[in-house]
Amino acid sequence: SSMIPALLLNRLRECRRRPFPFVAAVGVILLAAASRAMLGFSFGAEAQATTNLVVSAVFLAGLLHATFVATAALNRDLERGTLGFLLAKPVGLGVYVGTTFLGVLTCSTILCVVTGAAVAALFALTGSGHSAVPDLALGTLRALLLVAVLEAAALVASALLQRVTAPLALVAFFVLASLGAGPLLPSFELFGLDGAAAVSTPLLGAYALLWCAILLLVAYIVLSFRATLRTNT
């Protein structure tokens, strides 16, 4: 049990050492600032447009983190042989996968919240309309739930593929899930990030939790198989 906080802290440090998502988040903020000029043409829907931009910034920051950080979390340990060392300690593979997920999810949540707060503050300072706080809070929560599913999917890609191809697989997963490609993938339309009506927040939370569990189980099975192969060879 004493290893769990150490593993989680190590994941947080690894995320911090990868600067690209944070640099990209600055780009997201600047992109939202550039979009501010278009709000004058929203014809009375300026508050809703502000909400949509903030929520979009939150989600985009999370997508970038999942694509460029979480997709490298597991295969990095496989390449360096760290996974075998960790499993030789009193740390089960399930604990390893779980702490990795919590680590990358914590980092992405911090990145998303900071990015969204920066965009919201920028819009407030420039007087570009006021977003309804309940709508903004619910939209941000939906975005964070979707990011959690993407982080879990990124770990599956990281367990299966190399660092170069894993991000491409995650992007493909996101596109197919957004199009509702079938029952074997989650339906991202339910999260309502496009402004359409979404399911109730408790049901959406349960749906996201279910898919996170399924994806983490897949990552666990893949890593177990790969660890067995390495042991046999």
How confident is the model over 215-228, as pLDDT tens digits?
999 999 998 887 77
Distance CA 135, CA 140 (A): 8
In this prediction, residue 44 carries a pLDDT of 45
66-70, 138-142, 198-202, range with the lowest pLDDT: 198-202
pLDDT tens readout for residues 14-67: 776 777 767 777 777 777 766 666 555 544 445 566 777 888 888 988 998 899
Q: What's the predicted TM-score (pTM) here?
A: 0.85
3-class secondary structure per residue, the chain: CCHHHHHHHHHHHHHHCCCHHHHHHHHHHHHHHHHHHHHHHCCCCHHHHHHHHHHHHHHHHHHHHHHHCHHHHHHHHHHHCHHHHHHHCCCCHHHHHHHHHHHHHHHHHHHHHHHHHHHHHHHHHCCCCCCCHHHHHHHHHHHHHHHHHHHHHHHHHHHHCCCCCHHHHHHHHHHHHHCCCCCCCCCHHHHCCCCCCCCCHHHHHHHHHHHHHHHHHHHHHHHHHHHHHHHHC
Residue 132 pLDDT greater than 60, yes or no: no
pLDDT tens readout for residues 10-24: 777 777 677 776 777
Q: Cβ distance 51 to 135 under 8 Å?
A: yes
pLDDT tens readout for residues 71-103: 988 887 777 766 666 666 666 788 889 989 999
pLDDT class of 121 with cuts at 50, 70, 90: confident
Question: Nearest 5 degrees, angle CA 51-CA 175-CA 163?
Answer: 110
